[in-house]
């Protein structure tokens, strides 16, 4: 049963994204005086090194017994937690965040590695034999595993990376967590946006909520039990309370620049110079690519440093500008294919550990793609997280490679019993 081949479809998709990503980093940093591919003083040159290192890591993982990961899961998790704590004290401040540790000239971002470590630990816990998911204790422990790392990252002012941990809701949903949590999350998000947009008409929102509640109770519902009434009224009160406290949450919890970004996104403030500058330029770059793009190295906006974070978080505008709608669509399709492939692989696992881990990989990648491209397209507020396998950066590329290949190795050895 352990004669399976590693999944070459996934590896092919991985290599396509890597290669096309590198090509766009090359274009984004293009400078005629440093056009040589193997010029290691340049970002595209350095990225080549990271790609090579990632291949080595992938190869090492492919030779490792997959059982090591499940048995070492908690240890790895603890190790990364310690690293995150250390980071808080020794970190150098980069771009407003404090998530980097310097090793000489090499900067290292532990939060990138927290993702696969948390995934391993959570998968390990969730696959504990005879675990009763319905116990409050189980839920508490599972959420603690997620929240501890997320909070440590949040303390580093790296909101984007912390947000990624919300992705674990998907594998938990798959394993049987009540769908209500996802639904509540969605409703909360909608109410949050509505409350911010219609801040003067909060009572209108509450009125509509009340109307929906009454409609639910007296028109839709067939069986009117006491329990139903309690639930409906309780939900209504909770939603109303949430809506009314949105502005307090908004003011107290979020940082000023985050508030500005959200206001810009919602169109409450017109701004193309300061907070809205990145997204405005990003939209110009992508929009001006039109159907077929301006051609490789032909981007006039990306070539001229109009978009900040061009090669990292905003790498997708280079695609949009130089490869047009066609190229950008291909990239999105490739990512969706990768995600669907991972779901397919996860579903063929025999162990709950590897299935949960597989879904975690897909979900983490999904949240990254979602937030990154959503931000670049001006659909989401500016949250700086990289596009997996695509953005410039050694830590994230290595961490994503580790994340992915641990799962591919488990998939290859899915016949082995734990």
Partner 1 sequence: MASNQYQERSTVIRIIFITIGVIFIVRLAFLQIFDSKYRDLADQQALRNVTQYPARGLIYDRNGDLLVYNEAVYDLMVIPRMVKNLDTAFFCKTMGISLDDFNSRMDKARHYSPYSASIFMKQISKEEYGSWQNQLYKFHGFYVQQRTLRVYDKPIAAHVLGYVGEVDDRDIAADSYYHQGDYIGKSGLEQSYETVLRGIKGKKIMHVDVHNREIGPYRNGANDTTAVEGGNLYTTIDAKLQEYAEDLMANKRGCIVAIEPSTGEILAMASAPSYDPNLLVGRVRGENYLTLLQDISKPLFNRALQAQYPPGSIFKVAQAMTALNLGVISPSQGFPCDKSLVGCHNHPSARSVQEAIKMSCNPYFYYTYRRIIQQGKFKSIYKDSPYGLNVWNDYMHRFGFGIRLPIDLPNVKEGRIPDTAYYNKKYGSGKWAFSTIYSNSIGQGEVEVVPIQMANLACIVANRGYYYTPHIVRYYGPDSTRNEEFYTKHETGINPSYFEIAAKGMYDVVHVGGGTARRANIPDIDICGKTGTAQNSGDDHSVFIAFAPKDNPKIAVAVYVENARGGGGYWAAPIASLVIEKYIRGEVTRTDFEKMYHDATPCQKLPLPKKTKTKK
Question: Which residue in the block uniquely carries the two structure tokens 């009434």?
Answer: 229
Select from 39, 232, 374, 416 the one that contacts partner 1 (CB under 8 A).
374
Residue 261 near partner 1 by CB under 8 A: no
Q: Among residue numbers 273 through 332, which ones bind partner 1 (CB under 8 A)?
A: 283-291, 298, 300-301, 303-306, 320-321, 324-325, 328-329, 332
State the DSSP code for 386.
Answer: P
What minimum distance in Å lies between the beta carbon of 123 and partner 1?
Answer: 11
Please, which residues have CB within 8 angstroms of residue 416's CB and are 6 or more apart in sequence?
1, 2, 66, 67
**Rounded CA separation 367/166 (Å):** 8
What minimum distance in Å lies between the beta carbon of 243 and partner 1?
Answer: 25
Q: Are strands 106-108 and 92-94 parallel, antiparallel or unpaired?
A: unpaired
What minimum distance in Å lies between the beta carbon of 302 and partner 1?
Answer: 9
Q: Among residue numbers 207 through 226, which ones bind partner 1 (CB under 8 A)?
A: none
Burial of 373 (0-12, 13-18, 19+ CB in 10 A): buried
**Rounded CA separation 299/323 (Å):** 9
Select from 346, 385, 387, 403 the one that contacts partner 1 (CB under 8 A).
346
Q: Is the Cβ–Cβ distance between 377 and 321 less than 8 Å?
A: no
Residue 379 near partner 1 by CB under 8 A: yes
Is residue 106 within a helix (H) or strand (E), and if so which, with residue range? strand 106-108
What minimum distance in Å lies between the beta carbon of 71 and partner 1?
Answer: 17
Q: Is the Cβ–Cβ distance between 182 and 189 less than 8 Å?
A: no
**Rounded CA separation 384/372 (Å):** 7
Select from 77, 100, 168, 335 the one that contacts partner 1 (CB under 8 A).
335
Range in contact with partner 1 (rule: CB under 8 A) among 106-114, 169-177, 197-205, 390-398: 169-177
**Rounded CA separation 389/264 (Å):** 29
Residue 388 near partner 1 by CB under 8 A: no
Nearer to partner 1, 10 or 98 (CB): 10
Nearer to partner 1, 239 or 317 (CB): 317
Residue 199 near partner 1 by CB under 8 A: no
CA angle, 96 then 308 then 383, to 5°: 50
Residue 343 near partner 1 by CB under 8 A: yes
**CB-hemisphere CA count at 13 Å for 336?**
7
Select from 170, 262, 387, 398 the one that contacts partner 1 (CB under 8 A).
170
Residue 414 near partner 1 by CB under 8 A: no
Q: Is the Cβ–Cβ distance between 152 and 99 less than 8 Å?
A: no
Nearer to partner 1, 54 or 310 (CB): 310
Hey, what are 385's tokens?
């997280």
Which residues would be at the binding site for partner 1 (CB under 8 A)? Answer: 32, 127, 170, 173-176, 283-291, 298, 300-301, 303-306, 320-321, 324-325, 328-329, 332-333, 335-336, 339-340, 343, 346-347, 349-352, 355, 359, 362, 366, 369-370, 373-374, 377, 379
């Amino acid at each position: 049963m352990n004669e399976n081949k590693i999944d070459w479809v996934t590896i092919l998709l991985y290599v396509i994204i890597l290669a096309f990503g590198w090509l766009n980093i090359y274009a984004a940093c293009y400078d005629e005086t440093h056009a040589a591919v193997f010029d290691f003083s340049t970002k595209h040159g350095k990225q080549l090194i990271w790609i090579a290192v990632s291949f080595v890591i992938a190869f090492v993982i492919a030779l490792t017994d997959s059982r090591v990961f499940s048995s070492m899961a908690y240890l790895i998790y603890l190790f990364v937690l310690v690293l995150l704590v250390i980071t808080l004290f020794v970190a150098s401040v980069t771009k407003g965040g404090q998530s980097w540790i310097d090793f000489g000239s090499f900067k290292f971002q532990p939060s990138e590695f927290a993702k696969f470590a948390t995934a391993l630990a959570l998968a390990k816990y969730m696959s504990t034999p005879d675990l009763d998911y319905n116990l409050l204790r189980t839920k508490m422990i599972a959420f603690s595993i997620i929240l501890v790392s997320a909070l440590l990252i949040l303390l580093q002012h790296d909101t984007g990376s912390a947000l990624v941990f919300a992705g674990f809701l998907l594998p938990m949903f798959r394993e049987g967590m009540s769908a209500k949590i996802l639904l509540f999350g969605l409703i909360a998000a909608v109410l949050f946006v509505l409350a911010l947009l219609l801040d003067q008409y909060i009572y209108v929102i509450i009125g509509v909520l009340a109307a929906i509640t009454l409609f639910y109770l007296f028109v839709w519902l067939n069986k009117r039990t006491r329990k139903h009434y309690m639930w409906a009224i309780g939900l209504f009160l909770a939603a109303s309370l949430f809506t009314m406290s949105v502005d307090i949450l908004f003011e107290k919890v979020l940082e000023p620049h985050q508030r500005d970004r959200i206001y810009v996104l919602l169109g409450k403030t017109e701004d193309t110079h300061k907070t809205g500058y990145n997204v405005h330029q990003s939209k110009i770059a992508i929009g001006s690519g039109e159907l077929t793009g301006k051609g490789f190295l032909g981007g006039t906006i990306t070539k001229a440093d109009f978009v900040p974070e061009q090669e990292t978080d905003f790498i997708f505008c280079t695609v949009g500008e130089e490869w047009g709608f066609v190229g950008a669509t291909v990239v999105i399709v490739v990512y969706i294919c990768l995600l669907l492939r991972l779901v397919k692989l996860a579903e063929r696992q025999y162990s709950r550990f590897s299935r949960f881990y597989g879904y975690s990989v897909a979900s983490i990648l999904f949240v990254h793609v979602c937030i990154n491209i959503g931000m670049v397209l001006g659909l989401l507020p500016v949250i700086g997280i990289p596009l997996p396998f695509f953005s410039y950066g050694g830590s994230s590329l290595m961490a994503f490679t580790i994340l992915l290949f641990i799962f591919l190795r488990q998939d290859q050895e899915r016949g082995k019993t734990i």
